[in-house]
Structure 1
């Protein structure tokens, strides 16, 4: 048992320490001083969510940090606080971890840099005794969605739409086909939209998109880096180009787009807090035109071991992406795990417009709608996500000469329900 081994190792370490209390463990790393270098090597059990010991150090100036993992994928399971310091002083680093649901141990290295000096903190989290493996049982096979708009006026027959999505995988568990149909009751008909994914080699993805509304097919080539992350994508039939850049923690920090002369938003900068994507800044030229802010359920983890696809991206577009492009490259690549880290938690935000205007009136006024509140509820069974429900309440008002008059009967509540099947 890993627990017993860990306990015996802890006892052995304690006995060794009791025999060596007079040893000096301090370390001088130039502009960084560490009073106890034993803190630089830490091992915790699979279910620990916080390192048993913090790391205390003193710097002679401002400092920064990065986190890298010994394996190819980025370390979404570990974060630190604080992650930087603006001045010289003494600091204690708090290390926070996600539970390790796999059977394999994992190791991350935290690098603290001050001027030309640095220290490395190695954190190893043991594998679980009863791991949750990324098996076919955890692969999403179908998502059934429905939407209803319930108006304050008391409509007896609310507006509705339904759709279904189906997913197909190869023998290696990689997604090869994503089909979407907004009329699932007509099962004999072809799916309305189909995205096919192939894997010619370790550095390339091929995407082929088609729809029943158009005889034309969209074909795209995606270039991957050594970690399997998309760094560039291009249309095989036109000038469209996407590029993606990553920070030292493996998070997508920027998306750019070119090739469409009518496209207004060629650049998106991503803001991360800890292991969650908390904001997107959308650029028009050199200036930020608008931003999205994201919130999350702190008690709802979003890990590949529990759900192979990123539902934040597939259902709610909470991911790095380019605004208003013809093809949702960011959502697709994020959804299949090819755009660096996914957010560590499930979203509580749908990046929809919070206020929008419609219906100008002859007297110079216009009718507007404003989101009063929204929320996303996630249901889980056996750790797997089985349902997501998005609810938003919308207020209607008339605006003229800076004055607003609420029209209660034109307000409505919109509800989207997504059922996930494995």
Structure 2
């Protein structure tokens, strides 16, 4: 109704070139801004939307074809705390589909509202959509080869299984580190249910313990997690977002022994480029992330965020007992995913193993880390992570490399749809 009123007002004003619109507690100087069309590759509308409100205002974004908020469009700012003049910036993800798509942005102030319709045209070279992008299984194997050559390579394998409901939502994530066993028991199982549009329920169990851990996740109007809590204890996570739908901060409370209760996320160019980990009020350490700029990471190519599920490249809390950040990011509930596939597996680049009797420290340092993503017809089919680890002794500021104590690690993940 608001948009129809805007269109009528605009048509009546064509004669004198007055396109202004009065919607009660919201004033729009140019109602032509309320309907915008962009091409498939545009990541920002050419025009913002300027309006004036008589009080605080909020916003929602919706599509007619889905109940959840679309993840391809965002606005900044997404709310205002006081009366004033505002200019809305609209950002978009490229449209990989042949079909155009339309979202409606609703601005509410008191009893008044305006509706902004944004249509993004389809591409001439579409990427095939669901269900071709839905992951059903990941087979993983890890190998460690020591430079000394005095032992057989260490090997470890696992298989992950994924199940979905009729709406395409993930309902279970089962992980088995011994796929050759005969009892078919999964070592870890995460089950996900959807009681209503504002709630997720997570249930985690292992074959080693009869006890289940359960969590309740609260979602905002855009379908993003804003809070999560343990149903059986005091643990609680909270998540905050910027105007573009990117998670900007994670906090944790409830466990008195937890050293790192706060993480601040740094974003650049639609990629999560770093995490700053705080201990009490002070910055303790940071992770930096790098990406393959020629490898897009979009839901159209892969329904789950493998950056998060395989490498923890996502907003998260350090050393929490439950990997809430990677789980919620992996299933698309922690705001925007990074636009590209990672070339980083965050870990300590230098770590201490022990202090020797002579006062020196035996340390290890990561060298030549890389992640290779293999794709067939746009879909990710295999991921190979590798790194070399160098051993050295450090004493009085001097380092002595011990080549025979170094090793090489490789992880290979095969993706099935």
TM-score normalised according to structure 1 size: 0.77
Residue 327 of structure 2: aligned partner: 332
1:282 aligns with 2:271: no
Q: Offset of 1:210 from its aligned partner?
A: 0.4
Cα–Cα, structure 1 residues 383 and 68, in superposed 2: closer, same or farther, change >3 Å? farther
Residue 34 of structure 1: aligned partner: none
Cα–Cα, structure 1 residues 152 and 329, in superposed 2: closer, same or farther, change >3 Å? same
Give 1:212's match in structure 2, choosing from 207, 216, 220: 207
Rounded Cα–Cα distance in structure 1 between residues aligned with 2:347 and 2:99: 39
Cα–Cα, structure 1 residues 398 and 206, in superposed 2: closer, same or farther, change >3 Å? same
**Cα deviations across residues 6-45 of structure 1 (Å, max 9, x unaligned)?**
xxxxxxxxxxxxxxxxxx99x9xxxxxxxxx999986443
Cα–Cα, structure 1 residues 108 and 269, in superposed 2: closer, same or farther, change >3 Å? farther
Cα–Cα, structure 1 residues 122 and 227, in superposed 2: closer, same or farther, change >3 Å? closer
Contact kept in structure 2, 1:68 and 1:75, CA below 8 Å = no
1:136 is paired with a residue whose SS is coil
Rounded Cα–Cα distance in structure 2 between residues aligned with 1:324 and 1:102: 43
1:146 aligns with 2:158: no
5 Å-filtered alignment, 1:70-219, equals 71=63, 73=69, 98-101=94-97, 103-106=99-102, 124-128=119-123, 131-132=126-127, 134-155=129-150, 157-219=152-214
Rounded Cα–Cα distance in structure 2 between residues aligned with 1:234 and 1:40: 39
Rounded Cα–Cα distance in structure 2 between residues aligned with 1:313 and 1:138: 17
Give 2:301's match in structure 1, choosing from 297, 303, 306: 306
Q: Offset of 1:215 from its aligned partner?
A: 1.8
Cα–Cα, structure 1 residues 170 and 39, in superposed 2: closer, same or farther, change >3 Å? closer
The alignment covers a number of residue pairs equal to 362
**Cα deviations across residues 291-313 of structure 1 (Å, max 9, x unaligned)?**
11111111111111111100000
Residue 20 of structure 1: aligned partner: none
Cα–Cα, structure 1 residues 198 and 123, in superposed 2: closer, same or farther, change >3 Å? closer
Q: Offset of 1:413 from its aligned partner?
A: 1.4
Residue 17 of structure 1: aligned partner: none
Contact kept in structure 2, 1:208 and 1:217, CA below 8 Å = yes
Q: Offset of 1:75 from its aligned partner?
A: 5.3
Give 1:316's match in structure 2, choosing from 311, 314, 327: 311
5 Å-filtered alignment, 1:371-382, equals 371-382=366-377
Give 2:361's match in structure 1, choosing from 361, 366, 380: 366
2:132 is paired with a residue whose SS is helix
Q: Offset of 1:137 from its aligned partner?
A: 2.6
Q: Offset of 1:70 from its aligned partner?
A: 5.7
Rounded Cα–Cα distance in structure 1 between residues aligned with 2:69 and 2:196: 18
Q: Offset of 1:100 from its aligned partner?
A: 2.9
**Cα deviations across residues 124-170 of structure 1 (Å, max 9, x unaligned)?**
42024674454233210000001111222235621111111000111
Unmatched 5+ residue regions in structure 1?
1-23, 28-36, 57-66, 81-92, 110-120
Residue 252 of structure 1: aligned partner: 247
Cα–Cα, structure 1 residues 102 and 263, in superposed 2: closer, same or farther, change >3 Å? farther
TM-score normalised according to structure 2 size: 0.78
Cα–Cα, structure 1 residues 301 and 187, in superposed 2: closer, same or farther, change >3 Å? farther
Contact kept in structure 1, 2:308 and 2:327, CA below 8 Å = yes
Contact kept in structure 1, 2:381 and 2:416, CA below 8 Å = yes
**Cα deviations across residues 37-77 of structure 1 (Å, max 9, x unaligned)?**
9999864433x3578x9779xxxxxxxxxx99664646557
Rounded Cα–Cα distance in structure 2 between residues aligned with 1:123 and 1:54: 11
Range with greater deviation from structure 2 (187-196 or 262-271): 187-196
Give 1:45's match in structure 2, choosing from 28, 39, 42: 39
Cα–Cα, structure 1 residues 222 and 329, in superposed 2: closer, same or farther, change >3 Å? same
1:313 is paired with a residue whose SS is helix
Q: Offset of 1:123 from its aligned partner?
A: 6.7
Contact kept in structure 1, 2:360 and 2:395, CA below 8 Å = yes
Unmatched 5+ residue regions in structure 2?
1-16, 21-30, 49-58, 77-88, 106-115
Cα–Cα, structure 1 residues 187 and 305, in superposed 2: closer, same or farther, change >3 Å? farther
5 Å-filtered alignment, 1:25-44, equals 43-44=37-38
Rounded Cα–Cα distance in structure 1 between residues aligned with 2:34 and 2:195: 42
Residue 341 of structure 2: aligned partner: 346
